[in-house]
Amino acid sequence: MAFLKTQELTKERFSLLLLDLEEYYFEQHTAYHVTTSSKKQRKVRGSFKVCSRSAIFDPEDLSEPILKIPLRDCKKIEFVECENNPFNEPRPSVISISCVQVIYIKESNVIAPYRNERGEKKVTFQLEGWSKTEDVVQTLLQLHRASRLEKLGDQTAMIAANLQSRLARSSFDKNCFQSVAEMPHMECAVEMVMPLVCNPGHVCITDESLYFQPLNGYPKQVIQIKLNRVRRIYKRRHGLRPLGLEVFCTENDFCSDIYLKFYNSADRDEIYYYIASFLENHMMEHTAESYMLQWQRGHLSNYQYLLHLNNLADRSCNDLSQYPVFPWVIADYTSAQLDMTNAATFRDLSKPVGALNKERLDQLLARYRGMPEPRFLYGSHYSSPGYVLFYLVRVAPEHMLCLQNGRYDHADRMFNSIGDTWKNCLEGATDFKELIPEFYGDDCSFLENKRSLGLGRRQNGSLVGDVVLPAWASDTRDFLQKHKTALESQYVSENLHEWIDLVFGFKQKGSEAVAAHNVFHPLTYEGGIDCDSIEDPDQRIAMLTQILEFGQTPKQLFTLPHPQRITPRFHNITRSPSSSSPVSELSPAFQSEDSSFEDLTEESRKLAWANMGNLKPISSHKIHKEISKVYNFTNSTLKMFSKELKEFQRSMSFSNMALSSCLMLANGKTVVCSSWDNNVYFYSIPYGRRQDTLMGHDDAVSEMCWFDDQLYTASWDSTVKVWQCASDSSSSHKRSQFQLLAELEHDAGVNTIGLNPAGTLLVSGCKDGTITIWDTSSYGTLQQVHCHTGTIHHVAFSPDSRHVLSVGADSCMKVIDVQTGMVISSVKAEEEQRCFCWDGNSVLCGGQSGDLLLWDLLGNTVIKRIPAHSGAVTAMWMSELCSTVITGGEDRQILLWKLPS
């Protein structure tokens, strides 16, 4: 459990949770609590702790209670000088505190609600180091004056001045370095953030480690994190200000190793970028879009993806006002068996909790319509410190006592039953809470009262014990297992993107939030109010306290609809033979023997791609004297080669201007070539002559695709034209009849096009960096995205038609989600990429250097660099089974590659 992580560092009974919210623990001294009764003096040894709003005595004897004396309840704090007893021995000086309230905590060493004892009382403490007594009293008097100031803002300012003075008078002790060879980079004052509390001290970063040294030595003298162990770092908002930094030494755990709050963002940023320099690809890897791509492709579970989104949206287990939020996914808590094949078992993920019950929503809407601006539907949030501790009180009772001034909530309002909690979330007038990650984890202790805590007695007479489980769960482990299975189920996988839209996405704010009935109080949103702009310090502190305790909406990660996950049922897309294969960039004489489409399997393609780094060249062919693209000719000659004979076969000249692309039709007898002279030429292989010419455009034809007797031609005249080509399929010499079906207008010259395997979608890439996705049945625009800063060289759909990949003159590779138009991955390569083949996860690119680069899109890394051409690789084709690759380059070479069997 996240809450127990810090407590494991120390065996002390004392905890920062014994302090008030936003109180600091400054120093401690070994002391005796001195009591006198019937002229008999009793001394209890322990630790006297000076805190910003209280004095706390923690006795060594565990049967004795911890004493907490709020400074605001003190009437007199004085230093009583030593005096001589009858035997002329000096009596030590003491601290005498006269107060009207003493709080007793952990009596008999039991975690229980605090006992407040009111009435006039004098408490005496004797320090072991006599010489310090007067100084401690002066400190207590100063803090006492602060606590008695009328205005909260004045109190806070005086305490803050005391803290800053202490930090300024101290520094990081470099004797704590683990190695004498360590070189310090910087140090500054910070606070370590833990649930509900902060601990001030100094951070020091060296070329080997990050150190934090608490001002008070709690929970230990120094905390060290080796930089080579760091895996993730995140900048955080803390208290609505960009001052936080969270460091993780794990990949997927949602508990960090340290969370620091800086006093200015410049110090935070310097340490952030210094640590980032130790992480490979840190700045590129950890984006919402890159995680989205991994999740979509099944490389991240729903649980892992939600954890990553929470991290990116400033949610942290160390900040209860921004604790990770997870959805309720099950709606059935009454059946004896849980049927995960029935959609009715699951919660509607397209609606916030507050909109799941229509009757309640109608009442909220009626109130909303009569409300003055700024209006809100829900007066409480779906995540707040109180809600988090509602779920976790059995493992974090001290946190609940800290939050609620030493008391538990009323027994009937506790987390007693999962079914009752869900029912209240559906019907309660002010209850709209979601869940927390623990509901989908492995530790079931938060559902069990293993510590036999006295959490109260309900109105029906029963004690609050273990959480009552649904009938379909045999025990807590069974409940968590089924709950985790539900989160990863087909239904949730297909619909989780809709919940993400509400919490992290485009339905979080604005008109879309209003339409989705997803409007919370303005103070819960990032940027809803600038606390620093409030001049009255009391008002500012009250506003900040309200925000922190009320709950905060996550940082918005997506402004477009979130793509749906590609679930297993969508993997079974049958791929039929299509003449629109990327072979159009190369000589159609290079057809692979991989023509038995019945034998094509997803497994064979995955195996081929996993082995793609072992690609070997088996033959090469010298082609035209001058070339910019294998068949983007600077002369007008079509040349054909025999792969079997490994020799030149024939050539054909069509025009006095260069050809730009070519493709072979399904009958294997006709080659179609496009030219810079604005025309398209049809060439008969059996008859060895041109059989037809299509004068189709007003500028160069840049690329073509063919599907089901329809020809798609792209041109620098800013159009893509769709032609119906009617001819006798058994004949290869009869002239064709061309009917123009559609003309797709663009704002710039179209440089490249591609069809999806089913021929239902067309993508075009323009010279101005714009990608457009078209529906080939209606010829309507589905998406238009300006994603490159220069000419787009090549575009192609993924095999499942979910994504489009593009490469451009800006050296970027972009992955676009077809459904939403969102750029879900952006990779800046070291060199310009001109052409590629891909399987949706991995990309084989032809680079400007002439090398083939094998990219892992999920990790944004180059897996393998394969030397190929002496000039830029300008064209590439891959066989259906991915076992054969053909490349062409500016060195006027065609290379034939094979994967080892």
Tens digits of per-residue pLDDT, 735-773? 667 899 999 999 999 999 999 999 999 999 999 999 999
Do 638 and 650 meet the contact criterion of CB atoms below 8 Å apart? no
Lowest mean pLDDT among 131-140, 207-216, 449-458: 131-140
> With 60 as the cut, is the pLDDT of residue 579 above it?
no
Please give the residue that has the higher pLDDT: either 574 or 11. 11
> Three-class SS of residue 605?
helix
> With 50 as the cut, is the pLDDT of residue 589 above it?
no
d(CA 855, CA 836): 10
Q: Which of 881, 801, 868 is nearest to 833 (CA)?
A: 868
Q: What is the pLDDT of residue 336?
A: 96
* Residues in Cβ contact with 667 at an 8 Å cutoff, skipping those fewer than 6 apart: 729, 732
* Residues in Cβ contact with 630 at an 8 Å cutoff, skipping those fewer than 6 apart: 585, 586, 587, 623, 874, 875, 887, 888, 889, 894
Do 771 and 784 meet the contact criterion of CB atoms below 8 Å apart? yes
> With 80 as the cut, is the pLDDT of residue 246 above it?
yes
Q: How many CB atoms lie within 10 A of CB 476?
A: 17
d(CA 328, CA 317): 19
d(CA 865, CA 831): 12
Q: Which of 212, 267, 261, 270 is nearest to 241 (CA)?
A: 261
Q: What is the pLDDT of residue 880?
A: 81
pLDDT digit string (tens) for 689-705? 888 899 989 999 999 99
Q: Which of 529, 659, 517, 645 is nearest to 584 (CA)?
A: 659
> With 60 as the cut, is the pLDDT of residue 573 above it?
no
d(CA 282, CA 304): 18
pLDDT digit string (tens) for 474-528? 999 999 999 999 999 999 999 999 999 999 999 999 999 999 999 998 888 876 6
416: confidence class by pLDDT, cuts 50, 70, 90: very high
d(CA 681, CA 673): 5
- Mean predicted confidence (pLDDT) in 378-400: 95
For residues 507, 324, 275, 1, the Cα torsion angle rounded to the nearest 10 degrees is -170
> With 60 as the cut, is the pLDDT of residue 85 above it?
no
- Tokens 């800046």 -> residue: 828
Do 585 and 631 meet the contact criterion of CB atoms below 8 Å apart? yes
707: confidence class by pLDDT, cuts 50, 70, 90: very high
d(CA 630, CA 636): 12
d(CA 173, CA 446): 39
d(CA 626, CA 419): 75
Q: What is the pLDDT of residue 570?
A: 33
- Tokens 């310097």 -> residue: 270
d(CA 849, CA 831): 7
Single-letter residue type at 631: Y
Do 701 and 660 meet the contact criterion of CB atoms below 8 Å apart? yes
468: confidence class by pLDDT, cuts 50, 70, 90: very high
647: confidence class by pLDDT, cuts 50, 70, 90: low
pLDDT digit string (tens) for 597-643? 334 457 778 888 888 988 998 878 765 443 333 433 445 677 766 55
Q: What is the pLDDT of residue 767?
A: 96
* Partners of 330 in the β-ladder: 346
Q: What is the DSSP letter of 497?
A: H
> With 60 as the cut, is the pLDDT of residue 469 above it?
yes
- Mean predicted confidence (pLDDT) in 354-369: 96
> With 60 as the cut, is the pLDDT of residue 355 above it?
yes
* Partners of 843 in the β-ladder: 838, 855
Q: Which of 889, 329, 809, 372 is nearest to 585 (CA)?
A: 889
269: confidence class by pLDDT, cuts 50, 70, 90: very high
* Residues in Cβ contact with 496 at an 8 Å cutoff, skipping those fewer than 6 apart: 302, 306, 327, 349, 565
> Three-class SS of residue 455?
coil
DSSP for 384-417, written as a single string: -HHHHHHHHTTT-HHHHHHHTTT-PPPGGGSS-B
Name the token pair of 453: 């805590």
- Mean predicted confidence (pLDDT) in 324-331: 98
Angle of CA points 415, 421, 424, to nearest 5°:
130
Lowest mean pLDDT among 45-54, 614-623, 688-697, 881-890: 614-623
Q: What is the pLDDT of residue 664?
A: 82
Q: Percent of the chain at pLDDT above 70?
A: 87
Q: What is the pLDDT of residue 445?
A: 96
Radius of gyration of the chain (CA): 35
363: confidence class by pLDDT, cuts 50, 70, 90: very high
Q: What is the pLDDT of residue 265?
A: 95
Lowest mean pLDDT among 39-53, 84-98, 554-568, 825-839: 84-98
- Tokens 């005796």 -> residue: 32
Q: What is the pLDDT of residue 577?
A: 27
Average pLDDT of the chain to the nearest whole number: 87
> Three-class SS of residue 4?
helix
Q: Which of 791, 422, 493, 802 is nearest to 629 (CA)?
A: 791
Single-letter residue type at 880: E
> With 60 as the cut, is the pLDDT of residue 590 above it?
no
* Partners of 847 in the β-ladder: 833
Q: What is the pLDDT of residue 250?
A: 84
* Partners of 238 in the β-ladder: 241
858: confidence class by pLDDT, cuts 50, 70, 90: confident
> With 80 as the cut, is the pLDDT of residue 2 above it?
no
Single-letter residue type at 552: Q
Q: What is the pLDDT of residue 528?
A: 64
Structural domains of the chain, with CATH: 2-168 (2.30.29.30), 174-286 (2.30.29.30), 320-550 (1.10.1540.10), 573-590+601-898 (2.130.10.10)
- Mean predicted confidence (pLDDT) in 283-298: 77
> With 90 as the cut, is the pLDDT of residue 729 above it?
no
CA 637 to chain centre: 53
CA distances from 343 to 302, 356, 484, 590 (A): 18, 15, 17, 50
Q: How many CB atoms lie within 10 A of CB 715?
A: 25
pLDDT digit string (tens) for 186-229? 999 999 999 999 999 999 999 999 999 999 999 899 999 999 99
> With 70 as the cut, is the pLDDT of residue 119 above it?
yes
Angle of CA points 35, 38, 43, to nearest 5°:
25
Do 540 and 625 meet the contact criterion of CB atoms below 8 Å apart? no
* Partners of 626 in the β-ladder: none
* Residues in Cβ contact with 427 at an 8 Å cutoff, skipping those fewer than 6 apart: 357, 360
> With 90 as the cut, is the pLDDT of residue 147 above it?
yes
- Please provide residue 366's backbone torsions phi and psi, each rounded to the nearest 5 degrees: -65, -40
87: confidence class by pLDDT, cuts 50, 70, 90: low
pLDDT digit string (tens) for 859-878? 788 899 999 999 999 889 88
d(CA 328, CA 330): 6
646: confidence class by pLDDT, cuts 50, 70, 90: low
Do 744 and 787 meet the contact criterion of CB atoms below 8 Å apart? no
Name the token pair of 607: 């195996």
> With 60 as the cut, is the pLDDT of residue 102 above it?
yes
